[in-house]
Structure 1
Amino acid sequence: MFSLGGNNYGKSGVRLVRVERETPRHAIRDLTVHTALSGDLDATHFTGDNANVLPTDTQKNTVYAFARDGIGPIESFAERLARHFVDRAEPIRTARVQIEEQAWSRLGDHSFSRGEGGELRTCEVVYDGERVEAVAGLRDLLLLNSTDSEFGGFLVDEFTTLPETSDRILATAVNARWTYVGATEDFDYDRAFAAARGALLAAFAGTYSLSLQQTLYAIGERILEAIPEVGEVRLSLPNRHHYQFDLERFGIDNPGVVFQAGDLPYGLIEGTVRRETS
């Protein structure tokens, strides 16, 4: 005997650019939207009966149609979409909408620039017909401290070759997600995102780091302090190694100024910092 486990379907990678023209000073919103729906979908799996299936092409079209009236904070836009899919399509019981936003730098009233890759603002909203859960965050935020970082006192065995260091470059590409647990209907997601990002940067710059784990906890703690509506912060911090290059073999000194940037493999530090509830 067999049974169908958890399942969902949706449209991934919906690329949306909206030009906000309400004033002569335009703004650009550049989003990638992913939708995932679940509910009464047994029939389409067992017999191919698609009566309860809202096509993924329809989901894509809905994203563009909803953008016509404005986007606002990406968390609010995701919630609008999720509520629509669940409230309008009876067989659909849960909708998950994920959004990544790429920022453009302003050059003028209607001119912008953007490099390839770079930091993304992210969110994930889940709606089950009764409750909304919103998770915000950012991805690929590149940070580097050129000093005030050590690493020593670690476990040593027969395979250990890493030397202890009292001064190193600490670099990472931050992936952070924080969960809102007390957000009201008029909650200002943009303000909260700016506060969280600011707290993250301040913690990274202001922590004398004895380990990347210590920095991770300091970041999570600072975000929780800054935003009472956040219940937990999840962080993934790859250690982007920088090795001081040996120039002595060429008769040249290297007083901590020339480094070789490492690629693969890399250390990966992950953790969750939670707000304790009574």
Structure 2
Amino acid sequence: MSIILGPNRYGKAETRLVRVVRDGAVHHLKDVNVSSSLSGDMEAVHLTGDNAAVLPTDTQKNTVYAFAGKHGVGQIEEFARLLAGHFVDTQPAIRHARVEIEEYFWDRIPVSGHSFVRAGGEVRTCVVHHDGDGRTTVVSGLRDLVLLNTTGSEFHGFAVDEYTTLQPTSDRVLATAVTARWRHASAPDSFGESYTEVRRCLLEAFAGTHSLSLQQTLYAMGKRVLDTCDGICEVRLEMPNKHHFAVDLSPFGLDNAGEVFHAADRPYGLIEGGVLREDAPDAGFAWE
């Protein structure tokens, strides 16, 4: 009985791409996840290790970024067609290309031309503590509130040592996925309306703060809530720094004027902190 090679394919999975179109003060955002898979005359690489027909998966990733810089990213179907056609038309051994794209939607925060909130995925939360003395504490919150500023963020003047490689910047993409919890000193007339108001404060403070650090932005967001919502006595925030690194397009003869980014998954900076009124009543327990 003979043994033969069956159907096979290979590719680059989940190339994260963020494309910013800078139309003056108003920016437009395209956030996608691209996976490519190629198949064709691949017997030699499997049977003998001959890589002559193999277009490296790293090249497939680079092609996604280069095409974003060269052609932009419009409708994802058209971008996928462009990529798939390129792989088949330029590689003699490739007979079939599969390109899958997921698109993540963002809504513009109305007070800014460059601030966005991820549409969908946000989770509303609450924890209620009640003790035998009849004391009830309500902690409202949310998680997975994904926010992004395409400009208006800096990071410089930080401590350095022999292991520091990070370069100072006066203009960067600032993105985070907010987990926020806020403790009520008194019950509002409507928890629903209170939630909407706190969320609005968080969004507006994020969009309206020219950030020199994510810590500064965190404090500004918590302070805005307390300044606006009298019945809330404490806000605790967890804000991972979702790093966006500009992709070097020079190997492809292209410039990248702050338009094509790699959205890094991990590792990430994690910024945590609380903002509270000086006279905030003691919760009496760890309320998180």
Equivalent residue, structure 1, for 2:275: 273
The one of 117, 127, 130 equivalent to 1:127 is 130
Give how far 1:116 is off. 11
Q: Which runs of 5+ in 1 are unaligned?
A: 1-114
Equivalent residue, structure 1, for 2:200: 198
Give how far 1:198 is off. 0.5
Equivalent residue, structure 2, for 1:167: 171
Q: How far apart are the structure 2 equivalents of 1:195 and 1:276? A: 22
State whether structure 2 residue 231 is matched by structure 1 residue 242: no
Q: TM-score, normalised by structure 2?
A: 0.54
Q: How far apart are the structure 1 equivalents of 2:145 and 2:239? A: 10
Equivalent residue, structure 1, for 2:145: 141
Q: How far apart are the structure 2 equivalents of 1:249 and 1:268? A: 33
Q: How does 1:1-278 map to 2 (within 5 A)?
A: 118-129=121-132, 130-183=134-187, 187-277=189-279
- Evaluate the alpha carbon distance shift between residue 204 and residue 258 of structure 1 in structure 2; reply closer, same or farther with a 3 A threshold: same
Q: Which runs of 5+ in 2 are unaligned?
A: 1-117, 281-288
Specify the structure having the higher radius of gyration (Cα): 2
Question: What secondary structure, in the 3-state scheme, does the structure 2 residue paired with 1:200 have?
Answer: helix
Answer 1 or 2: higher relative contact order, Cα 8 Å, separation at least 6: 2
Give how far 1:147 is off. 0.3
Find runs of 4+ consecutive structure 1 residues off by over 4 angstroms: none
Q: How far apart are the structure 1 equivalents of 2:260 and 2:123? A: 30
Give how far 1:190 is off. 1.1
> How many equivalent residue pairs?
162
What are the superposed Cα offsets for residues 96-150 of structure 1, whole Å, 9 maximum, x if unpaired?
xxxxxxxxxxxxxxxxxxx998100100001113110000010000100000000
Partner amino acid, structure 1, of 2:262: Q
Give how far 1:217 is off. 0.2
Give how far 1:249 is off. 2.5
Question: What secondary structure, in the 3-state scheme, does the structure 2 residue paired with 1:237 have?
Answer: strand
What are the superposed Cα offsets for residues 18-38 of structure 1, whole Å, 9 maximum, x if unpaired?
xxxxxxxxxxxxxxxxxxxxx
Q: TM-score, normalised by structure 1?
A: 0.56
Percentage of pairs with the same residue: 58
- Evaluate the alpha carbon distance shift between residue 199 and residue 116 of structure 1 in structure 2; reply closer, same or farther with a 3 A threshold: closer
Q: How far apart are the structure 1 equivalents of 2:186 and 2:138? A: 10
Q: How far apart are the structure 2 equivalents of 1:147 and 1:178? A: 28
Q: How far apart are the structure 2 equivalents of 1:167 and 1:202? A: 20
